[in-house]
Chains A and B, each alone.
Chain A
Amino acid sequence: MDLSFSKEEVAFRDEVREFFKNNVPPETRKKLVEGRHLSKDEMVAWWRILNKKGWGVSHWPKEYGGTGWTSVQHYIFNEELQMHPAPAPLAFGVSMVGPVIYTFGNEKQKQQYLPRIANVDDWWCQGFSEPGSGSDLASLKTKAERKGDKYIINGQKTWTTLAQHADMIFCLCRTDPGAKKQMGISFIVFSMKSKGVTVRPIETIDGGHEVNEVFFDDVEVPVENLIGEENKGWDYAKFLLGNERTGIARVGVSKERLRRIRDLASKVEAGGKPVIEDQKFREKLAEVEIELKALELTQLRVVADENKHGKGKPNPASSVLKIKGSEIQQTTTELLMEVIGPFAAPYDEHGDEGSNESMDWTAQIAPSYFNNRKVSIYGGSNEIQRNIITKAVLGL
């Protein structure tokens, strides 16, 4: 049993840290620290820097541009990325559709899509959730009817994150309406520029525009855009959702936010002294830090297990990561709200485009608090996570 990183791992951490320090555009970093949204160009610019370094799709197999890092190295990379902070690679391409394509796609699809995912030449979005299919995803209704060498797609997707930027979508569609729920679903990819695709923004409670509704009206898609076998899409979806187990805890994000809390709480005064000197506040902060330390260790247990024994059976502890990780992220945004108190109120109606300088330091704190309520809902709500623990771990 050994909790410390090896000499090589420490050297790797320093290398990664140094690279972020020298290569993440300062304005990008600043916006993230302040909880602002980045423009498409800002994100793509950074991802291309990352890809040029060879780290854009680090966890892919080497033959498709991956790094061959160990689980511990991946952990270190993500942790440093989140703490710097810098934008994480676009999950929809890099972590979701990419692995499905190199695992289940044919040779032509691999050549066609993978390099463009790595360099974000295509921005991908995810067509899973529907208005009537949230936690019960397998009840989805979007239809793909085979007509000759084409699928005709009709239906509606929702909560489609950053679809406004997207060039491509990977979509779960029902191809066999007669089959039972999970059967009869196919995994189809197509261009968002196709005729019959309409994107409508959903404004969220923070005033932001991250998610969208996407409508398909007789969209024609070549049959060759089917990934894997027809009616096997549910298997690929499960593979995709099970792929990213440890990143979901977002320990680095919470660490970075705790630093910001300490920083702001040392500047904002209450009763003639900085908020950080208030014992009750300090205890609340310490409580979150302890929860986060426990989560970090839980995550390291999962990572070390993978490192040594491979990614076979998921470690039961991994189901803890989503629940605790999201709760802690939410608590940290709550604490930021508490630090600034009444100054949380002013709303910057120019949003991210042109910010009101006088509100610069507080404007995004309340929106970030509101926005972070999503983290216990998306990616399998925390209640679904408890169902998973109940079945997979406790055997109830």
Chain B
Amino acid sequence: MDFDLSEEQRLLKDSVDGLLNDSYDFDSRKKYRAEKGGWSKAVWGKLAEQGLLGLPFSEDDGGFGAGAVETMIVMEALGKALLLEPYLATVVISGGFLRRGGSAEQKAAHIPGIIDGSKTFAFAQLEKNSRYDLQDVATTAKKKGDGWVIDGEKFVVLNGENADSFIVTARTRGGQRDAAGIGVFLVPANAKGIAKKGYPTQDGLHAADVTFTGVEVGASAAIGDPENGLALIERVVDDARIALCAEAVGAMDESLKTTVEYLKTRTQFGVPIGSFQTLQHRAADMFVAVEQARSMSLFATMASDFDDAKERATAVAAAKVQIGKSAKFVGQQAIQLHGGIGMTQEAKIGHYFKRLTMIENTFGDTDYHLRRVTEGGGLV
């Protein structure tokens, strides 16, 4: 029983915090947003330089063989900084598919590009009617010769506009909601038949709706078993949820800190508004919500190594419920305590609120995960 970071983990935390302190204040972030693609290639390069893009990959694949705790440390820091760069899409999710399901050839072909920062990826999963259901897949991958032909529409694909490659979920057989018959395919973004419509998202990131029309890929495009990819998808999406929990904790931490700072400095009626008990108690409740979320983010991080897939899924779902609730509460209270200034784009706090709001709705919202916890038989 030990919640302290190891010496290496502490060094990692110091290094990522240091990097972002130096290069990611709120004004710099505005400049990065204005760059082509909506994020900074220079920052991405620095993340690569410090080894952060290679963190979860095995040493054989050129990475550092780090575990879930290290990813948690990085994601918390990214949450504090409101990072725009596609770490989740590229390193956590696409990297996750490669490392957990990829063949030796696929790893050799793609992981080095992620680690050195030269390539980014996007996960094309969401469909018009799938909502949060990972096995609801209408996009098809039909066998043609040795290879596959992919047809379908994917929505709100994070980093979809800029990615060099897509990881696409597609049905190789069966009905739209069948658990069996789902494959995972690696598709170069410049493949013939891909049409993208990019846009910024509410929280300042970038996404795209992507249409695949008769997109032909070779046999080597399939990651894992193209007939039975659901377990892999669930595994990697759990990785993403765990990472999002940590990101949210970072963003909540910073929201609380920013809000308390504001309560100390803003004066009305001749005194700092933080001297009013109604406001103090709201801030105290925010603290409680953040601590409960932090605990569940730790729980989810530990669950990443659970052997039993069902137990892992239930634990991650439970964490996502707590994070969703805490994030909503902390975000809303932060705006309220800031008053009018909290409503402006100029103030940092609103941007945290927006990111926290979007996290709640990524890979399952609170109600969705609450249902999953009941289906998993509860927690006690």
Q: Give A residues with C-beta under 8 Å from B.
A: 1-6, 9, 72, 255, 258-259, 262, 279, 282-283, 285-287, 289-298, 300-301, 303-305, 307-308, 316-317, 320, 323-324, 383, 385-387, 389-390, 393-396
Contact = CB atoms under 8 A, between A and B. Distances in A.
Contacts of A283: 370-371, 374
B288 A259 contact: no
A72 B1 CA distance: 8
A393 B69 CA distance: 26
Contacts of A292: 379-380
A285 B1 contact: no
Given A286-B374, A287-B370, A386-B280, A255 B380 contact: yes
Query: What are the 3 closest A-B residue pairs judged by CB atoms, nearest first?
Result: A297-B295, A386-B284, A389-B284
Given A1-B2, A316-B291, 9 more contacts: A1-B69, A255-B380, A258-B380, A279-B374, A294-B322, A301-B298, A304-B1, A385-B284, A387-B277
B1 A294 contact: no
Contacts of B280: 386-387, 390, 394, 396
6 contacts: A3-B299, A289-B378, A320-B288, A320-B291, A324-B292, A387-B277
Contacts of B240: none
A290 B264 contact: no
Contact of A390 (B284, B295, B302): B284
B221 interface: no
Contacts, number: 136
A316 B290 CA distance: 12
B253 to A, nearest CB: 12
Nearest to A282: B374
B283 A1 contact: no
A291 B3 contact: no
Contacts of A287: 321, 370
Interface of B: 1-6, 9, 69, 260, 263-264, 274-275, 277, 280-281, 283-285, 287-288, 291-296, 298-299, 302, 318, 321-322, 370-371, 373-374, 378-380
Interface centre among B281, B322, B379 (most CB of A within 10 A): B379
B288 A324 contact: yes
Contacts of B291: 298, 316-317, 320
Contacts of A255: 380
Tell me the interface secondary structure of chain A in the complex: helix
B2 A396 contact: no
Contacts of A304: 1-4
Given A1-B69, A3-B302, A390-B281, A290 B1 contact: no
A394 B284 contact: yes
A4 B380 contact: no
A88 to B, nearest CB: 20
A338 to B, nearest CB: 16
A44 B379 CA distance: 35
B275 A396 contact: yes
Contacts of A320: 287-288, 291-292
Given A295-B292, A320-B287, A394-B260, A289 B380 contact: yes
B1 A389 contact: no
Contact of B1 (A259, A279, A307): A307
A282 to B, nearest CB: 4
B284 A294 contact: no
B287 A389 contact: yes
Contact of B292 (A259, A298, A387): A298
Nearest to A393: B287
Given A3-B302, A386-B285, A390-B283, A293 B260 contact: no
A361 to B, nearest CB: 21
Nearest to A323: B288
A110 B322 CA distance: 47
Contact of A297 (B4, B6, B299): B299
A259 B4 CA distance: 32
A320 B286 CA distance: 11
A295 B4 CA distance: 18
B281 A383 contact: yes
Contacts of A286: 318, 321, 370, 373-374, 378-379
A286 B373 CA distance: 7
A5 B260 CA distance: 36
Given A320-B292, A386-B281, A289 B3 contact: no
Contact of A395 (B4, B260, B318, B322): B260
Contacts of B1: 2-6, 9, 72, 300, 303-304, 307
A4 B318 CA distance: 19
Contact of A298 (B295, B379, B380): B295
Contacts of A72: 1
Nearest to A391: B280
A237 B334 CA distance: 36
A291 B281 contact: no
B302 A293 contact: no
Contacts of B6: 1
A290 B318 contact: yes
A292 to B, nearest CB: 7
A317 B298 CA distance: 14
A4 B3 CA distance: 10
B284 A297 contact: no
A345 to B, nearest CB: 28
Contact of B373 (A290, A297, A305): A290
B370 A293 contact: no
A301 B295 contact: yes
Contacts of B274: 396
Contacts of B378: 262, 282, 285-286, 289
A1 B3 contact: yes
A308 B373 CA distance: 33
A151 to B, nearest CB: 38
Contacts of B322: 290-291, 294
A294 B290 CA distance: 11
